Amino acid sequence: MNFHEACSMKAEPFENVKNPIGFCGIWCGSCAVGHGVLRELTRRYGEIIKMYGLEEWAPKDFDFGEFTKGLASIQAVPLCRDV
């Protein structure tokens, strides 16, 4: 996978939005958390980071372990029940 392929996003996660307004009051089409777009973006971001070896060239004050934990936490956010 090259950089261009890794960065090109398709709107596939948007296709699973069933309700125009969620129980939370937010229009589902604008919610990147509930229907999985944020989860997919962080997964792809992790792939790009590994592909370019961020851990090897990141600034010394950058805590790569904590950053990786943050990505994992975002990926663990549950999808919306309205989806």
| Structural domain total, the chain | 1
Phi, psi of 75, deg, nearest 5: -70, -20
In a domain, 31, yes or no: no
pLDDT of residue 48: 92
Q: Give residue 71's domain range.
A: 36-77
pLDDT of residue 82: 61
In a domain, 71, yes or no: yes
Alpha-carbon gap, residue 68 to 16, rounded angstroms: 27
pTM to 2 decimal places: 0.63
- Is the pLDDT at 9 greater than 70, yes or no? no
Structure confidence by residue, pLDDT tens digits, 38-63: 899 999 999 999 899 988 888 889 89
